[in-house]
Amino acid sequence: MTADLFDDTPSPYVTPEVIAPGAVLLRGFAREQAQALLQAVEQLIAAAPLRHLVVPGGHSMSVAMSNCGTLGWVSDRSGYRYSASDPLSGQPWPAMPACFAELALRAAAEAGFNGFKPNACLINRYQPGARLSLHQDRDEGELSAPIVSVSLGLPAVFLFGGTRRSDNPARYRLLHGDVAVWGGPSRLAYHGVAPLAEGDHPRLGRQRINLTFRRAV
Ligand SMILES: O=C(O)CCC(=O)C(=O)O
Ligand SMILES: [Mn+2]
């Protein structure tokens, strides 16, 4: 059996694991779709390349990002916001592939949030050492919709705390095909990703790809 076949074994998904009110891990939920998702990611980042955004403080993020959908999350020295076009090209972001929207809708429903129609998908690429410090996703305007977050490639340690920055976050190991969903009372929970450990994933090598689906206005 080749490493690649092993990587695409059928989903071991069983049931949601509740990590906080309104927040669940769906372990293995996206495993069967992973290959299709990654093929789509390759096309998307050929059209709208991954880039290290600058934050208002002036430093570049260690995570490289791109977007698809009608709106994309961007950052520069003036702040964070959603933009209908890619600042690199001035062109609209690539459309959200049907397989992305379908997976996000199903994952949200599995977590108890019916009718999720994301219009923004942030594509995050982590290489070893890259991290995302504790933050809230609060640039969306539309806070009644959940966040759906899909992990592909190398394992990561996901930090998930409460709605106050001082709440000590719990740590969860997220693997290829795992999906996290948070909304309702956890919609503004602080979360982040610890520095990515070295590794060699059979499909993605030294990378982790995260797809974060949101309803932005
Ligand atoms: O990479 C992850 O698992 C989380 C990404 C995230 O929190 C974000 O993009 O806002
Ligand atoms: Mn986030």
185 domain residue, yes or no: yes
- What protein residues have CB closer than 5 angstroms to ion ligand 2? 137
Q: What whole-number distance in Å separates Cα of residue 155 and Cα of residue 143?
A: 28
Residue 8 belongs to a domain: no
Q: Which domain holds residue 71?
A: 17-214
Whether residue 134 lies inside any domain: the answer is yes
Assigned token pair, 45: 């980042």
7 within domain boundaries: no
pLDDT digits (tens), the chain, 217 positions:
444 444 445 457 989 999 999 999 999 999 999 999 999 999 999 999 999 999 999 999 999 999 999 999 999 999 999 999 999 999 999 999 999 999 999 999 999 999 999 999 999 999 999 999 999 999 998 899 999 999 999 999 999 999 999 999 999 999 999 999 999 999 999 999 999 999 999 999 999 999 999 999 8
- In whole angstroms, give the CA distance from residue 173 to residue 196: 11
Q: 149 C-alpha vs ligand 1 centroid, how far in Å?
A: 7
CATH number of the domain to which 62 belongs: 2.60.120.590
Q: How many domains does one find in the chain?
A: 1
Please give the order of strands across the beta sheet that includes 17-20: 17-20, 23-26, 179-182, 147-153, 208-214, 120-126, 64-69
Q: Which position has the token pair 């305007």?
A: 141
Q: Which two tokens stand for residue 216?
A: 């932005």
pTM equals 0.95
**CB within 6 Å of ligand 1 — which residues?**
122, 124, 132, 137, 149, 151, 158, 191, 193, 210, 212
Distance 210 CA to ligand 1 centre (A): 7
CA distance 165 to 107: 27
| Cα(123)–Cα(143) distance, integer angstroms | 20
What are the DSSP E strand ranges found in 102-207?
Answer: 120-126, 132-135, 147-153, 156-160, 170-174, 179-182, 191-193
Ligand 1 centre distance from Cα of residue 204 (Å): 18
11 conformational bin, left if phi > 0, alpha if psi -120 to 50, beta if neither: beta
